[in-house]
Amino acid sequence: MLPEDLNLKLAPKVSAEELNDLFREAWPNHVDRDFSHLSQSLSFVCAYVEDSLVGFVNVAWDGAVHAFLLDTTVHSKYQKQGIGLLLIARARELCATNGIEWLHVDYETDLEPFYQSAGFVPTKAGLIRIGD
């Protein structure tokens, strides 16, 4: 059940500290970063309960018709309440209003049911790890 005071915001002023706090809480192996790359994205969506950041998704793009969901994250206290699905729905709306034709996402196998419930269809893809 969604929190009554849940609020989604498109590209709000959010600090790297707030984002790193959220990511550290949700992802045990998170390494802090500055999030300056968000300025190159189509946009991003944040979820707040009261004034606390509890969810995030980045909508990166190729500058044309493909967009990519990155870093879908929900605070563990608020997971399995529908916040992640709302973040993705808002990202889909954003894409539709910006002429995006394809929305991509990569995910670990255990997240497949979540992304399928958000409307994604599994496809084959290739991946090369650069670096370590």
25 in a structural domain = yes
Structure confidence at residue 101 as a pLDDT band (50, 70, 90): very high
127 in a structural domain = no
State percent of the chain over pLDDT 70.
100
Residue 27: partners with Cβ closer than 8 Å, 6 or more residues away: 73
Kindly report, residue by residue over 107-123, the tens digit of the pLDDT.
999 999 999 999 999 99
Structure confidence at residue 127 as a pLDDT band (50, 70, 90): confident
Tell me the torsion sign for CA atoms 76, 13, 45, 40: negative
106 in a structural domain = yes
125 in a structural domain = no
DSSP 22: H
Tell me the torsion sign for CA atoms 68, 107, 36, 57: positive
Global pTM reads: 0.93
- Residue 118 contacts residue 85 (beta carbons within 8 Å): yes
In which region does residue 92 sit, left (phi positive, over 0), alpha (psi from -120 to 50) or beta (all else)? Answer: alpha
CATH of residue 60's domain is 3.40.630.30
Domain hosting 91: range is 6-117
11 in a structural domain = yes
54 in a structural domain = yes
Question: DSSP labels for 25-41?
Answer: HH-TT------GGGGGS
69 in a structural domain = yes
Split into its structural domains, the chain has a count of 1
What is the model's pLDDT at position 39? Answer: 95
